[in-house]
Structure 1
């Protein structure tokens, strides 16, 4: 039984916790997605004879929102169940100790995501690789821009919360606990978990449309950036804020593809893009170009500076490699 259970805490070892939680998440996500799709099929707008229901369901931006809501619900429920029955820790320990400081860090993360993506856009604009061909565009027939823009906003909020809760709040923390052996120590375990969880985050995006080896590597580097705020504070405020506005400004403000997906619903700018694909990322979006590593480096430095100003020091939070009781 030692291969399955920790000796002192009588809970599954980290590897089994990770596998069980991810399997539970996948099962719940499939269940909620099917349920929401069935509701949309029954209650959603009727398709025309030229556009059968199956096509309407597959292409509907509203259904895309429902799928992200399903993933959000699956993530939060699976984390609560895993925390209660596998990890033996409260939900807040996954990075949700929400107080005034948490909201301040969230605001900083949102500002940082907007700043980094704006920098990528302005550089490409200055180089002549981006041309603005339209503004305030709505992709939803008969829906004004001011209403349509709420759709990508809701989608990117959901994505930012559930991907960070899953990838950083649960996976990175449990990897750090599992790797916390004398050979590595708490800091080494956190650093290794930071890298491994980021690589897994990149691989999860490999199936996206127009993905390449470079896009997968760059998304993994984005995982390093997103994880920086978590390993330095133990909270998900900075990663969630950064993730939301990075995606929102990328797709709904500047009109870039977001990880290979076109913006759903509306965008402030419509653009035509040229320039070397290795720099711009082409149809996958900026995350497949060489501007992405530069943004990651700048973002990590600014996060470290923010944490230094807020907490007086910059160091990996050793308690992330400890268990729910008697943390390191």
Structure 2
């Protein structure tokens, strides 16, 4: 072989190594994340177009694009990441149901804390009670369940895990910390286009993403953050009538209007944009750590850093 041929071979090998992890038999982390992002955007657009074309009303017209994104996330994990679905945190193992119930309870407790402190301080007023219909309440709960599942599946199950694996060269602590920050940052940015969004709301949602991520990295299961995510939104909107990430809710058990400073209440965006919401995130993070220790999951789950690849047992 000529010298030029050997040079081309070395160049090809380097280019291939840059995009393909031969040891793991799959694309490297940036390529996997790029493919995942493109697939999710495509599925979101396609799901929205199908819902509009079919004339689906709420909640199904809202839920269909979310289901499409969740499906795309699972397909990317299976085909591109070449991992088992359980490696996204969907593990039916001992403790997953207890995590789900604890997460559901924590989300309600935190929003009740926000409402109670705000009412006691005079930052909220009771505008109405029993707003909306039972059918409307069921519809919004269906949407909240879908949101909690598909956002956690993408932000924590796919994104956080891939970033953590990609940063393993820097050490476990850096890998997990960087993955937490990256997934929370993306989570915050994804809500930056919501009605009434601001720098404060984006930072608040990012902090909430860190809170949810902590529950995942300590247990290795999505059930805890999914539970918190669902009940946080449901209690925020359907129990207390707050806006949920800038989106108004037409049903509420007790409809509370913010009358105090926006810096504290979050104003029209909802508590995540205010210090009350941030305080709930801090309390929730501490409660999550306490729950993990109580369950015997006091440290980072090591499975986050070691991919469970399908081909290893094929």
Q: TM-score, normalised by structure 2?
A: 0.90
Q: Alignment partner of 2:195: what SS?
A: coil
Task: Give how far 1:323 is off.
Answer: 2.3
Listed as ranges, the matches of 1:1-328 within 5 Å are 1-40=16-55, 62-63=57-58, 65-138=59-132, 145-181=133-169, 184-263=170-249, 265-311=250-296, 313-325=297-309
Q: Alignment partner of 1:123: what SS?
A: helix
Q: Alignment partner of 1:3: what SS?
A: helix
Superimposed CA distance per residue, residues 238-259 of structure 1 (whole angstroms, 9 cap, x where no aligned partner): 1000000100111111001111
Task: Give how far 1:133 is off.
Answer: 2.3
Number of the residue aligned with 1:54: none
Q: Contact conserved, 1:79 with 1:91, CA < 8 A, in 2?
A: no
Unaligned runs of 5+ in 2: 1-15
User: For the aligned residues, what is the CA RMSD?
Assistant: 1.5
Q: How far apart in 1 are the matches of 2:139 and 2:93?
A: 28
Q: Contact conserved, 1:208 with 1:260, CA < 8 A, in 2?
A: yes
Aligned residues: 295
Task: Give how far 1:67 is off.
Answer: 4.5
Q: Alignment partner of 1:269: what SS?
A: strand
Q: Contact conserved, 2:51 with 2:65, CA < 8 A, in 1?
A: no
Unaligned runs of 5+ in 1: 45-61, 139-144
Superimposed CA distance per residue, residues 26-54 of structure 1 (whole angstroms, 9 cap, x where no aligned partner): 111111111122112xxx6xxxxxxxxxx
Q: Contact conserved, 1:134 with 1:271, CA < 8 A, in 2?
A: yes
Task: Give how far 1:75 is off.
Answer: 2.5
Q: Post-superposition, which runs of at least 4 consecutive aligned residues in structure 1 deviate over 4 A?
A: none
